[in-house]
């Protein structure tokens, strides 16, 4: 695979709005989880929300009221990424600009509000904007409309691997010469009582209502589930030669992409991580490297008992020299946005040569025998892997380099 350049990054996450704000919060190594008053009637009463988010201020009130928070997050992040890449949406060749976004559920908050209106006041109370705001494909559609991008426009949904899958598909569009630029990433805004209750009933969420900041603890012996989060991560991707021709600064290069299915269980990973291993093999083969050359892994690291155990064994086998972190320990699990946000964090680690801490690791599970950064750690990193795995057995990995 020919490398693809990451020329722009935009972030809206529980660590804040904007790349610089995110990085400053990330390297402090402190969880963003906090009590959530909107979850007072459900078993898990905390989450990782985007702090102090004011859509009216960031988008203008006329536009913000037309968009579910998932599209608000995506558009704000996309605008930052485009500006970071040095592009002007009015000046670029719109038919050569694509959009590929990953999301699990789309406009969950709009759906919840409109469902209540339907049951409380009848069908005439349902907003005419309900479907345009809630359909999952609209996240990609909104970016096309408001970023003047009229090339391929795709929404991919591979559960919690969606963001990484979107970036991989975007790379393929570039390398097939269907686009010159692709706006790619993931977005999610599903912290509602219904979704939190559903995950809680499955036993996948931490129940530490008395200690939210200590709840997200991937690879710890005391882990008991993940913490629901929200946000968006958007990358601007271009062919390396095009970025070099316009002398654009490059955050990182996508060197390989692997995608596979476990074909095993609706929620549990394959016990031998066969799908994850297959995806990693694909990515490393595309890049022409051995897995043992990878120096850093931004793990899926959700904090569930089974998933962390399986992933850690695969990391130990495939990436024995790598320093691992899970940034979900800091920002929680934003579902379909996770892979894209983590790809952005991996690119930032490559630029800054710093690996963010895995918060709440102590005590590390003694059965997990990999090198995990318990504190923010300087490191010489040339090759890094970002892992994303989702319900349904979806696996997507991105190999990135300087």
Q: Which residues are catalytic?
A: 160, 300, 333
Q: How far apart are CA 53 and CA 55, in angstroms?
A: 6
Q: Strands (DSSP E) along 157-268, which ranges?
A: 181-188, 231-239, 252-261
Residue with tokens 């790619």: 184
Residue with tokens 């394959």: 270
Structure-token pair, residue 161 = 């691997």
- Report the candidate in 244, 285, 225, 251 with the shortest Cα–Cα distance to residue 353: 251
Q: How far apart are CA 229 and CA 231, in angstroms?
A: 7
- Report the candidate in 325, 390, 361 with the shortest Cα–Cα distance to residue 156: 390
In order of 32, 104, 192, 398, the CA distances from 199 in angstroms are: 20, 14, 11, 27
3 state SS of 400: strand
Structure-token pair, residue 12 = 């809206």
3 state SS of 239: strand
With contact defined as beta carbons under 8 Å apart, do 331 and 361 qualify? no
Q: How far apart are CA 141 and CA 135, in angstroms?
A: 10
Q: How far apart are CA 125 and CA 288, in angstroms?
A: 58
3 state SS of 317: helix
Which alpha helices (DSSP H) does 8-107 contain, by range? 19-26, 55-59, 61-64, 69-84
């Amino acid at each position: 695979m020919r490398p693809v350049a990451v020329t722009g990054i935009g972030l809206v996450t529980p660590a804040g709005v904007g790349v610089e704000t995110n990085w400053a919060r990330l390297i402090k190594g402190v969880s963003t989880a906090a009590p959530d008053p909107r979850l007072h009637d459900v078993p898990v009463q905390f989450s990782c929300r985007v702090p102090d988010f004011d859509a009216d201020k960031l988008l203008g009130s006329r536009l913000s009221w037309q968009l579910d928070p998932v599209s608000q997050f995506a558009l704000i992040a996309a605008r930052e990424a485009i500006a970071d890449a040095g592009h002007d949406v009015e000046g670029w060749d719109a038919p050569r600009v694509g959009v590929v976004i990953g999301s699990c559920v789309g406009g969950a908050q709009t759906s919840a509000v409109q469902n209540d209106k339907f049951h409380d006041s009848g069908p005439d109370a349902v907003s005419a904007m309900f479907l345009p705001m809630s359909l999952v494909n609209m996240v990609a559609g909104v970016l096309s409309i408001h970023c003047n991008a009229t090339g391929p426009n795709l929404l991919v949904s591979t559960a919690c691997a969606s963001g990484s899958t979107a970036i991989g598909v975007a790379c393929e569009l570039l390398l097939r010469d269907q686009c010159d630029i692709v706006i790619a990433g993931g977005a999610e805004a599903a912290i509602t009582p219904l979704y939190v209750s559903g995950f809680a009933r499955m036993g996948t969420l931490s129940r530490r209502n008395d200690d939210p900041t200590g709840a997200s603890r991937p690879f710890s012996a005391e882990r008991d589930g993940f913490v629901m989060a929200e946000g968006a991560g958007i990358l601007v991707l271009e062919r390396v030669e095009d970025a070099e021709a316009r002398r654009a600064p490059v955050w990182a290069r996508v060197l390989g992409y692997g995608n596979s299915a476990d074909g095993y269980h609706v929620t549990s990973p394959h016990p031998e991580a066969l799908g994850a291993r297959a995806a990693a093999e694909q990515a490393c083969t595309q890049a022409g490297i051995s897995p043992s050359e990878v120096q850093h892994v931004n793990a899926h690291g959700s904090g569930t008992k089974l998933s962390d155990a399986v992933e850690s064994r695969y990391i130990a086998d495939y990436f024995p020299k790598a320093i691992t972190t899970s940034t979900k320990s800091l920002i929680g699990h934003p579902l379909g946005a996770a892979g894209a946000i983590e790809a952005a964090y991996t690119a930032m680690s490559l630029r800054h040569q710093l690996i963010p801490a895995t918060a709440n690791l102590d005590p590390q599970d003694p059965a997990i025998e990999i090198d995990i950064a318990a504190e923010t750690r300087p490191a010489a990193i040339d090759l890094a892997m970002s892992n994303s795995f989702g319900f349904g057995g979806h696996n997507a990995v991105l190999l990135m380099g300087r």
